[in-house]
Amino acid sequence: MFLRSFSRSLMELKLIAAVAFLLLSATVAADYVRPQPRKTLHFPLSHNPSSHPQQVHISLAGDKHMRVTWVTGDKSSPSSVEYGTSPGRYSSVAQGESTSYSYIFYSSGKIHHTVIGPLEHSTVYFYRCGGQGPEFQLKTPPAQFPVTFAVAGDLGQTGWTKTTLDHIDQCNYDVHLLPGDLSYADYMQHRWDTFGELVQPLASARPWMVTEGNHEKEVIPFLKDGFESYNARWKMPFEESGSSSNLYYSFEVAGIHVIMLGSYTDYDEQSNQYRWLENDLSKVDRKKTPWLVVLFHVPWYNSNKAHQAEGDDMMAAMEPLLYAASVDLVLAGHVHAYERSKRINNGRFDPCGAVHITIGDGGNNEGLAHWYIDPQPEWSVFREASFGHGELKIVNSTHAFWSWHRNDDDEPIRSDQVWISSLVSSGCVAEKRHEQRKMLLAP
Ligand SMILES: [Fe+2]
C-alpha cells in the first residue's frame, strides 16, 4: 500500500517536473537571449612601404566628382590620383591637397584628399594613389533611379562591425550613408587608423558619406576643440554644398537630395547651421530631386530608454524647417538598436511628416540598447535591439523600398521592410507650398 502510494507520488513528481521543464523550455525559446557584444578587434596596421596608400576611402564631391582620401607614413608622398576605366591604364591624373595633425603623443600620417572627375555615371574606374602601391577600383552612382543606399551607424570596430560590413558588402549598393559614430577611437588616435584599414575594402569601392556623432568629438579642455581627427580624415563635400563646416553639408545622387546635419554643433535659429539649412532647403528643386532625405546622429523620435529625449532641443529648432520642406525620410544613429516610425511631425502621426528611422546598430563595443519605454508609442512601428544594417532602394520618383537586415548569429536576416511613397507623389509638397504662399500673402 505504502509502496504503491510512493510510486504514484513519484510518477506525479516526474509528471510535474516534465511539465515544468516543457514550460521552461518554451519560455527560454520565446525569450531568445541575444549574444553578447563582441570585443574590439585588434589587428596590426599594414606593413606596406610608408609611401603606399593606407585607409583609402572615397566620397562624393559635387556633380560628377569624387574625393579620394588616403594616408601615407611617408610625408613626401604626392597627393596625386591616376585613374581610368581600364585596369592599369590611367588616362587622367588629379592633384590634391594634404593635411596632418598631432594629438598629445600621436602624430598622424600624411592625410591626402584629391578630387577626381568629371566622371561618368554608373562606371567602374581603376585608380592608384600617390603613384605607389596597389590599384583600387570604384563604381560611380547612377544618373537615374533606381539608387540603393546602404545605411549603418555607430559602427566601431568589433567582431559585430566586421559581420555587418560583410553583409553590406553582399548587397549591391551605390552609396553608404553613416549617421555618426565611426571608429569609437575615443581619443586613442591609432584606432582611427585601424578603423580606416577595417573599412577600406568597402569605402575605397563605393562613396561613404558620413556625419559626426559624439564619438567623433574628442575634446581636451584648453587643448583640443573636438572633431580634429574626424575633420582631418573624413572630409566631406561641405564647401561644394555652400557650408562653412565639415559638420553639416548636402549632396545629390540621381533624384535624391541628401542633407547631413550635425547634432553636436549649434542648431538654434541664430546658428550658422540653421541658416545654411534654410538656404540649402530653399534651393532644393523637387522636379529634379523628388526625394529629400536627412541624416544626423541623435534621433528625435526614440522610444528606447537609452539617450531618451537627447534630441529634443534640436528637434524643437529644426523640425518645423524639415516639415515645411517636406522631408521624406530622417535617418539617425546614437541609440544602439533599430526603430522605425510612422510618418510623423510634432510628436503626432502626420501623412505629410517624415518617416524617422534609428539605425545606430552597426556593431560597436558598447553593446546594444535593450530597454524600451512601454507601452510602445503609437508612432513607433517597429523596434528591436539587434545589430544590423539598412538598405534604402529608391526605385523611382514615387516609391522607395526600405529594409532592415538584422545581423543575427552572423546571418543577415531581413527583419523589417516597408514601401515608402514620396511626399511629392502624395501631394504634400504642393499643398505645403500653397499654405506657405497663403501665409506670405496674409496681411
Ligand atoms: Fe552616439
Determine the distance separating the centroid of ligand 1 and the alpha carbon of 297, expressed in angstroms: 7
Phi, psi dihedrals of residue 128, rounded to the nearest 5°: -135, 135
- The catalytic position among 167, 215, 307, 336 is 307
Q: Which residues of 32-67 are buried (b: 16+ CB within 10 A; e: fewer)?
A: eeeeebbebbeeeeeeeeebbbbbbbbbbbbeebbb
Q: Provide the 8-state DSSP code for 32.
A: P
Answer whether 381's CB lies under 8 Å from 354's CB: no
SS3 158: strand
Q: Hey, which bits of 296-408 come out as E strands?
A: 329-332, 338-345, 348-349, 354-359, 380-384, 388-394, 399-408
Residues with CB under 5 A from ligand 1 (ion): 181, 213-214, 334
What are the per-10-residue average pLDDT scores of the chain (443 residues)?
A: 43 44 37 64 73 96 97 97 98 98 95 98 98 97 98 94 94 97 96 97 98 96 92 98 98 98 97 98 96 98 97 98 97 97 97 97 91 96 95 98 87 89 92 75 69
Within 149-294, residue ranges assigned H as helices are: 159-170, 189-203, 228-233, 272-282
Determine the distance separating the centroid of ligand 1 and the alpha carbon of 213, expressed in angstroms: 5
Determine the distance separating the centroid of ligand 1 and the alpha carbon of 15, expressed in angstroms: 51
Q: Which residues are CB-neighbours of 381 under 8 A, at least 6 positions away?
A: 340, 341, 342, 418
Q: What spatial distance separates the first Cα and last Cα of the chain, rounded to whole Å? A: 101
| Spans of all domains in the chain | 46-140, 143-431
Which pLDDT score, from 0 to 100, does residue 438 have? 76
Q: Pick from 199, 198, 235: which is nearest to 59 by CA?
A: 235
Determine the distance separating the centroid of ligand 1 and the alpha carbon of 214, expressed in angstroms: 5
- DSSP codes, 212-248: --GGG---BTTTB-S-HHHHHH---STTTTT-S-TTS
Determine the distance separating the centroid of ligand 1 and the alpha carbon of 332, expressed in angstroms: 10
Q: 3-state secondary structure string, 109-149? A: CEEEEEEECCCCCCCEEEEEECCCCCCEEEECCCCCCCEEE
The answer to whether residue 307 is catalytic is yes
The number of CA neighbours under 13 Å toward the Cβ of 76 is: 1
Q: Which residues are CB-neighbours of 140 under 8 A, at least 6 positions away?
A: 64, 66, 119, 120, 121, 122, 123, 125
Which pLDDT score, from 0 to 100, does residue 425 have? 95
The Cα–Cα gap between 441 and 443 comes to 6
The Cα–Cα gap between 373 and 355 comes to 20
Q: Which three cell numbers stand for residue 93?
A: 591624373
What are the percentages of helix, strand and coil residues in the chain, rounded to 5?
25, 30, 45
Phi, psi dihedrals of residue 318, rounded to the nearest 5°: -110, -15
Which pLDDT score, from 0 to 100, does residue 409 have? 65
Which pLDDT score, from 0 to 100, does residue 27 have? 36
- Residue tagged 566586421 (cell numbers): 162
Please provide the CATH number assigned to the domain covering 46-140.
2.60.40.380
Determine the distance separating the centroid of ligand 1 and the alpha carbon of 364, expressed in angstroms: 10
- Residue tagged 530653399 (cell numbers): 282
Please provide the CATH number assigned to the domain covering 143-431.
3.60.21.10
